[in-house]
Amino acid sequence: MARLTVATCQFPVDADIARNSRYVRRQMRYARERGADVAHFPEAALSGYAGADFPSYDGFDWESLERHTRRVLELAGHFGLWVVLGSTHRLTGDHKPHNSLYIIDATGAIVDRYDKRFCAGDPEERTGDLAHYTPGDHASVFTVNGIRCGALICHDYRYPELYRDYKRHGVQLVFHSYHAAHMTAAKLAEIHAAIGEDLVPRGPGGTYPGITMPATMTAAAAANHVWISCPNSSARESCWGAFFVRADGVTTGRLPRNRTGVLISTVDTDADLYDSTVHWRDRAMAGVLHSGTLVRDPRSDQRTRL
């Protein structure tokens, strides 16, 4: 039997690295005290998120970020706690940094780094993430307590191919970090107008992230039979609170938005969960896009007749 206890963490991420670091270390302690094996943090949790928490990396304090990252590594080793830490990874010269998740094991060592592959923005890289970040080019697969894990970041959710690829690699749990927060009143008004003010109350959230992100995580979990941990920044306005989805698509816990908190969830890969696609998923991923046995029949072939 493989079991793993996950702490899905949220706090109001901002541009102050030292402040973010205090939240991260405090929530690591809380997670360990409650028996968590892994503490999972939002996108850019330690560094802050360019374009939302601060305007650009001009004058960014890279030395402070490295110093506080090392403090997190040391504390992970002290607690014997795995940590999936959202941050920024500096590149050389004029290259824009990566938007990253550091995968830190229970000894305090970085065993991998996931770099956000689908950074939002225009093809000229003047808007969105691409104005600030260099996209990554690799999946990150690692094993914790016998459970095979993968990592994704925010806008990656729009690309179901990434979940299918992780499923091909045998991943059972995805750590999917978000930063759908720190929205200004003007931005919220713009989104409401784009959705349609009359339709905003009908949806589960008043923003595109609030509508599409939880729904897509439900679908990704059920379609691929994977557990998903979804932390988010709680900086006002946050679009939704951190949540955790079971492999059958059931959300097992959710934190209130705009409030600091830690959600404790347990993955049990031997649990008897509903999976209506178990018999045909591998065939579909191999390109055989039907279930059962096909037959040759003229009434099947004649598609324009009754």
Has residue 184 got a pLDDT over 80?
yes
Residue 278 has pLDDT above 90, yes or no: yes
In this structure, what CATH number is given to the domain that contains residue 90?
3.60.110.10
Cα distance between residue 118 and residue 297, in whole Å: 44
How do residues 20-65 score in pLDDT, each as one tens digit? 999 999 999 999 999 999 999 999 999 999 999 999 999 999 999 9
User: Is 70 inside any structural domain?
Assistant: yes
What pLDDT is stored for residue 202 in this prediction?
A: 65
Q: What is the pLDDT of residues 255-272, one digit of tens each?
A: 999 999 999 999 999 999
Give the mean pLDDT of 278-303. 96
In a domain, 282, yes or no: no
Q: Is residue 170 in a domain?
A: yes
Polymer length of the chain: 306
pLDDT tens sequence across 84-136: 999 999 999 999 999 999 999 999 999 999 999 999 999 999 999 999 999 99
The predicted pLDDT at position 201 comes to 67
Taking residue 176's Cβ as centre, other Cβ atoms within 10 Å add up to 27
This prediction has a pTM of 0.96
pLDDT at 198 over 90: no
The domain tally of the chain equals 1
Q: List, for residues 236-255, the tens digit of each pLDDT value.
A: 999 999 999 999 999 999 99
Residue 296, in any domain of the structure: no
pLDDT digits (tens, 9 = 90+) for 1-13: 689 999 999 999 9
Give the structural domain span for 56: 3-277
Burial class (CB in 10 A: 0-12, 13-18, 19+), 140: buried
pLDDT above 90 as % of the chain: 91
The residue written with tokens 């930063």 in the block is: 179
**Domain assignment of residue 304, yes or no:** no
Beta strands in the chain (DSSP E): 3-10, 38-40, 82-89, 98-104, 110-115, 141-144, 147-153, 173-177, 227-230, 243-245, 251-254, 261-268
Pair 40, 208: CB distance under 8 Å? no
> Is residue 121 in a domain?
yes
**What is the model's pLDDT at position 83?**
99
- pLDDT higher than 80, residue 281: yes
Residue 267 within any structural domain of the chain = yes
Q: Exposure of 107 by Cβ count < 10 A (0-12 exposed, 13-18 middle, 19+ buried)? A: exposed
Does residue 117 lie in a domain region? yes
pLDDT given for residue 209 in this prediction: 92
Q: What is the per-residue pLDDT across 158-169, written as a single tens digit (0 to 9) for each?
A: 999 999 999 999
